[in-house]
Structure 1
């Protein structure tokens, strides 16, 4: 990626053209690329992957008066492009009826190149009912697109071992739920959340969903795993006035299944709620709150 970014940056500087002028020249040649996308390419924050983007780079060589292949040759047949294609195939495989082991499919997707969008800020609110069981987790997120054409994200939820089913995912404002797959054996649900507009590079969007729970026993914790690094994460737990625990603690894990690292006792306020704030959450880590009823 860096070779392409450096070559593009030098070519733009040598041309003396602003990104606005370059975008205009591309439009006159029938190519639509936002200034944000051009900026991301030049700084190495993203790279052309889709067929229309690769075509845009070829036209960009003409606009910048470069020899054919001077930019496209920097992309080559490198592994990230292959991983991108593999990731797209893996995502589509999730929706096939033959994809029986959904958990394995999701793990495969997570190991591949990240989607062209990332979470900036996430706030989760877990609601505990009067029977000490989780009712739902309300999630409000801000995402940012890395390139043009982002119109959906993938949301996955793994239920506890004692839960009766994976539960459900319901979209709130600014989005809707598309395809959904459930793996009852692994207590996993995956949903395609479709945005209310198509994002261009640098655009942000709000995504609000509710993850409905189906618990079979008292709930004792709430947590979230992040595949990619996150600027800020807030987790709040709202307890019913008739079901308030005696104490709460924050915790983290270096990876799912790793031992808990206690991050300190948390105050339960007069509104029967507590919260945890994580700044610069690390990729692959688990962050959560656990509590004791007795």
Structure 2
């Protein structure tokens, strides 16, 4: 062997492969092994980060017997990335990808959701708008329409809000089209008690942000009801509809109605604590053949994501 040739550390090579290919428990086990830390030391480091996780749970995680799902567990995974000197989001990404169902193309990948989140922040900054808009949601009923080509035709929203500061006179509505959507062809409709203001579009992510203007300035404590919608129909087959919430709120109801020529074979509800978290809360939903629709109702929403997914033939 020529002088100066160096052998790659097998543990490091195994870790790099595991982080690239997964699954999560293999990558976690490889990272702990590469750092030479017993689980008791890993637990100690986590406690110094303000996260409490038992040694038994850590053992289950690296064996693949259980997967982190609760918010505290996901905090632990992010802390583990720092403790084990791993790239940011490397373990979280594996958790997210592991939740995709075999044989089913995800409507939103983790990468696309993160890109959309960044674009949304830029568009909101361009509108010089605070993220919460000074409004608290009391009730939100959303009606999604899927067309005969299995495409997202459009959606209508009825919103009831309460102002938590004086002077609020607008709401920013966000539409994230399915992959392949053409934002310039998406139409914003102000249906009741509002009118359309500025509209910003981003081709790369299919994002549309519309300013809906009220006819009055609300005072703190005032309630307001308005309706708006988006007409789309520009993308390919739709497989799910997702709604994200940044904080706790009131009731949320989602109804998805399908064209009679394109009915799914099954539908289910799901939830996520964040875009990076694994999906949970799966519940099969019965499709009404007469009305060609499914729905869910959340009496009080929490921070995170909730949605309905469906499978075509």
Q: Same fold (TM over 0.5)?
A: yes
Corresponding residue number in structure 2 for 1:273? 293
Match of 2:213 among 172, 187, 194: 194
Corresponding residue number in structure 2 for 1:139? 157
Matches within 5 A, 1:277-288: 277-283=297-303, 285-288=304-307
Could you state the TM-score of these two structures normalised by the residue count of structure 2? 0.57
Runs of 4+ in 1 over 4 A off after TM superposition: 106-113
State whether residues 231 and 279 of structure 1, in contact with CA within 8 Å, keep that contact through their aligned partners in structure 2.
yes
State whether residues 178 and 236 of structure 2, in contact with CA within 8 Å, keep that contact through their aligned partners in structure 1.
no
Corresponding residue number in structure 2 for 1:115? 133
Secondary structure class of the residue paired with 1:230: coil
Secondary structure class of the residue paired with 1:243: coil
Secondary structure class of the residue paired with 2:192: coil
Moved more, 253-262 or 217-226: 253-262
Corresponding residue number in structure 2 for 1:289? 308
RMSD of aligned residue pairs (Cα, Å) = 2.3
Corresponding residue number in structure 2 for 1:208? 227
Cα offset, 1:246, TM superposition:
1.1
Corresponding residue number in structure 1 for 2:175? 157
Say yes or no: does 1:247 pair with 2:262. Answer: no
Say yes or no: does 1:221 pair with 2:248. Answer: no
Point out where structure 1 has 5 or more consecutive residues left out of the alignment. Answer: 1-100
Secondary structure class of the residue paired with 2:122: helix
CA distance in 1, matches of 2:272, 2:125: 21
Cα offset, 1:146, TM superposition:
1.2
State whether residues 133 and 219 of structure 1, in contact with CA within 8 Å, keep that contact through their aligned partners in structure 2.
yes
Matches within 5 A, 1:1-294: 102-106=119-123, 114-165=132-183, 167-269=186-288, 270-283=290-303, 285-294=304-313
Moved more, 161-170 or 141-150: 161-170
Could you state the TM-score of these two structures normalised by the residue count of structure 1? 0.60
State whether residues 103 and 183 of structure 1, in contact with CA within 8 Å, keep that contact through their aligned partners in structure 2.
no
Q: 1:226 to 1:168 in 2, by over 3 A?
A: farther
Cα offset, 1:287, TM superposition:
0.7
CA distance in 2, matches of 1:163, 1:186: 8
